[in-house]
A and B are shown apart, each in its own frame.
Chain A
Amino acid sequence: MVHWTPEEKQMITSLWAKVNVAECGGEALARMMIVYPWTQRFFSTFGNLSNPQAIQHNPKVLEHGKKVLTSFGNAVKDLDHIKETFAHLSELHCEKLHVDPENFKLLGNVLVIVLAAHIRKDFPPACQAAWHKLVAAVAHALALRYH
């Protein structure tokens, strides 16, 4: 289980209150597909992913990004039970979606960058560090049920 200090919990939850989940989720997923183009391999049914503009405005990308970040919010709501929270999703990503867990790390890093871009001065190094811990914990939880 991840050990959180009270300060880390506070930084995570207060930052989350400022996050526009739809906007940041869509942007994070789009950026991941643009910066790491090989991640597009999971989204062949999403339509036009042929260039950064297309990806950033693709409605399926935006919708899916929102879904992913909304789910991420469940980790924030219960920081002490991240593994349990994502147990079912872990099985799903392994057995049905066949997603290499490396992608969770890629998306997690992109998310932190998107937060930095949106939140700016309210996202200082200490806050970023707490969020790195969180995205790593979520990535780990999502990979846990892989077999």
Chain B
Amino acid sequence: MTLTQAEKAAVVAIWEKVATHANAIGAESLERLFSGFPQTKTYFPHFDLSQGSAQLHGHGSKVLSAIGEATKNIDNITGALATLSELHAYILRVDPVNFKLLSHCILCSLAAHFPNDFTPEVHAALDKFLSQISSVLTEKYR
């Protein structure tokens, strides 16, 4: 499932808009994740997950910033996220199923914030892109 040139362009274009709201969208995506899929909270027993918490905002922006890095290196996501890949494989060990859940929540947030830009084509490109990121992050699991 590699991205076509058109899909890469679509991802880069929408992400320029996302980047200006990264903190809010990041926190919102995580809120959506924890509300919709409470079992995901098991990975954050050390966090204050209440709405508007500093940790939620901090972590949300961390996640979106990493995705932003991937958009800047869209032809070499594996290289760009190599450190994060190792972190997830050896330290965090988040079950792979959760990457789909978070990707879904990110798409929901983007759809809510940018309804006009979030066309079906852009939706498809982003879904593929997030799926590629998920693969990179789980690549070293075993």
**Which residues of A does B touch, CB under 8 Å?**
35-41, 94, 98-103, 106, 143, 146-147
Q: Which of B38, B42, B45, B141 contacts A38 (CB 8 A)?
A: B141
Across the interface, do B142 and A100 meet the contact criterion of CB distance under 8 Å?
A: no
| Complex contacts, A146 vs chain B, CB 8 Å | 38-39, 42
Q: How far does the alpha carbon of A106 sit from the alpha carbon of B89 in the complex, in Å?
A: 17
Within B27-43, which residues are at the interface with A (CB < 8 Å)?
Answer: 38-40, 42-43
- Convert B65-107 into 0s and 1s, putting 1 for each residue whose CB lies closer than 8 angstroms to a CB of A: 0000000000000000000000001000111111000000000
Beyond A35-B142, A38-B89, A103-B95, 16 additional pairs, beta carbon < 8 A: A37-B142, A38-B141, A38-B142, A94-B39, A94-B42, A100-B39, A100-B42, A100-B43, A100-B94, A100-B95, A102-B39, A102-B98, A143-B39, A146-B38, A146-B39, A146-B42
- Convert B111-127 into 0s and 1s, putting 1 for each residue whose CB lies closer than 8 angstroms to a CB of A: 00000000000000000
Q: How far does the alpha carbon of A41 sit from the alpha carbon of B90 in the complex, in Å?
A: 9
Task: Give the nearest-CB partner of A37 in chain B.
Answer: B142
| Complex contacts, A38 vs chain B, CB 8 Å | 89, 93-96, 141-142
**Which residues of B does A touch, CB under 8 Å?**
38-40, 42-43, 45, 89, 93-98, 141-142
Q: How many A-B residue pairs have CB under 8 A?
A: 40
Q: How far does the alpha carbon of A37 sit from the alpha carbon of B38 in the complex, in Å?
A: 23
Q: How far does the alpha carbon of A143 sit from the alpha carbon of B42 in the complex, in Å?
A: 12
Q: How far does the alpha carbon of A98 sit from the alpha carbon of B93 in the complex, in Å?
A: 13
| Complex contacts, B38 vs chain A, CB 8 Å | 146-147
What are 15 A-B pairs at a CB distance below 8 A?
A35-B142, A36-B142, A37-B93, A37-B141, A37-B142, A38-B89, A38-B94, A94-B39, A98-B43, A100-B40, A100-B42, A102-B98, A103-B95, A106-B95, A146-B39
| Complex contacts, A37 vs chain B, CB 8 Å | 93, 141-142
| Complex contacts, A143 vs chain B, CB 8 Å | 39
